[in-house]
């Protein structure tokens, strides 16, 4: 496993922040994601993890700070421009089109990156036909990467929960990103499916991808992440290897909230909060 921080950063954020009215959802976060590694972003509920992803992927415009990707400033880019630069994401809730085929889903992911607009599509211009062929090729490549090529013709809704998660990942991979953001990839998965998902993420990283993920399942985070970034009340409170952060007093305090008995990081208490 490569040592965190040893490879050049693919993404750097500096003093990144956003507030909604008086609420600082993310505040003064300075951090970097090493290329070719897996970074997990963790923190108690409401810590700002999803907002952090939304800032990086252009869904939200930061109210302070800068974002650099592959050495270039992407702070003010819109979502489609961020995708075109090479950052793709999946969402917490499954956003696949269940009635469409697995291949069509992946093609939708690819077309985010192509230039043909509605006008081209309606008139079936040469460029549109060219783009469609390119979409099909890019989509098939993405399906091969997630092990779904043999299922390309099936309706996405006919796949297992794990299969549908893979479709979501293929949709993101179809735009051929250098950085993949996974928002709670293991949500709703049983332990066996979670292990399979971990193997898939490892394979993708071995193939050259950089991954950042938000996840509550600590077995996945601890077993997969090269480095962990911990947010609490929108601020970075720790960054390091899984071993380092799990021993960090500030992290333990954030998760246990000062209670001596509360289980491990990320476990949900009966009230639904994270112990
Ligand atoms: N668009 C928005 N408008 C107003 N407040 C928002 C908005 N998006 C997020 N917030 C607030 O910002 C804070 C951080 O939310 P966020 O969803 O990023 O946390 P999180 O760490 O992802 O939480 P969880 O683990 O529960 O998904 C919360 O208080 C949330 O209510």
Residue ranges per domain, the chain?
Answer: 1-86+177-275, 93-176
Q: How many angstroms separate the alpha carbon of residue 13 from the centre of ligand 1?
A: 19
Task: Select from 106, 111, 231 the least CA-distant residue to 169.
Answer: 106
Cβ burial, residue 215 (10 Å; 0-12/13-18/19+): buried
Q: Point out the least confidently predicted range of 133-137, 230-234, 255-259.
A: 255-259
pLDDT above 80 (res 4): no
- The closest alpha carbon to 183, from 93, 59, 91, 79, belongs to 91
Beta partners for residue 125, in sequence order: none
The share of the chain scoring above pLDDT 90, in percent, equals 66
Complex ipTM: 0.95
The rounded radius of gyration (Å) of the Cα atoms in the chain is 19
Report CA(197)–ligand 1 centroid distance (Å): 26
pLDDT digits (tens, 9 = 90+) for 184-215: 999 888 999 999 999 999 999 999 999 999 99
Confidence band of 124 (pLDDT split at 50, 70, 90) = low
Tell me the pLDDT of the chain averaged across its residues.
Answer: 86
Tell which phi-psi region holds residue 188, choosing left (phi > 0), alpha (psi between -120 and 50) or beta.
left
Atom of ligand 1 nearest to the CA of 20: 4
Whole-model pTM: value is 0.87
Ligand 1 binding pocket includes 58 (Cβ within 6 Å): no
Q: What is the pLDDT of residue 259?
A: 45
Task: Say whether domain 1-86+177-275 belongs to CATH 3.40.50.720.
Answer: no
Name which residue sits closest to atom 30 of ligand 1, judged by CA.
Answer: 46
Is the pLDDT assigned to residue 60 strictly greater than 50?
yes
- What average pLDDT does the segment 41-66 reach? 95
274 lines ligand 1 (CB under 6 A): no
């Amino acid at each position: 496993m490569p040592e965190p921080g040893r490879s050049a950063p693919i993404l750097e954020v500096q003093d990144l922040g956003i507030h909604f009215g008086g609420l600082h959802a993310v505040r003064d976060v300075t951090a970097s994601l090493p290329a070719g590694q897996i970074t997990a972003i963790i923190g108690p509920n409401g810590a700002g993890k999803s907002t952090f992803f939304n800032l990086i992927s252009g869904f939200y415009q930061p109210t302070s700070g800068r974002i650099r990707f592959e050495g270039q400033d992407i702070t003010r880019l819109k979502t489609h421009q961020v995708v075109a630069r090479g950052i793709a994401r999946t969402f917490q809730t499954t956003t696949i089109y269940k009635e469409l085929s697995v291949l069509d889903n992946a093609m939708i992911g690819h077309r985010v990156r192509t230039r043909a607009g509605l006008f081209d599509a309606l008139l079936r211009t040469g460029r549109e036909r060219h783009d469609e062929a390119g979409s099909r090729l890019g989509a098939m490549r993405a399906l091969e990467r997630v092990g779904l090529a043999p299922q390309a013709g099936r309706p996405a809704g006919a796949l297992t929960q794990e299969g549908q998660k893979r479709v979501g990942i293929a949709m993101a991979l179809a735009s051929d990103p250098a950085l993949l953001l996974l928002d709670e990839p293991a949500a709703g998965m049983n332990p066996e499916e979670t292990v399979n998902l971990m193997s898939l993420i490892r394979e993708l990283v071995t193939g050259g991808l950089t991954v950042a993920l938000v996840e509550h399942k600590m077995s996945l985070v601890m077993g997969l992440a090269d480095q962990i970034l911990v947010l609490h009340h929108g601020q970075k409170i720790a960054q390091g290897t899984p071993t380092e952060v799990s021993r960090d007093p500030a992290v333990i305090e954030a998760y246990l909230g000062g209670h001596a008995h509360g289980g491990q990081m990320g476990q949900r208490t009966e009230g639904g909060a994270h112990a």
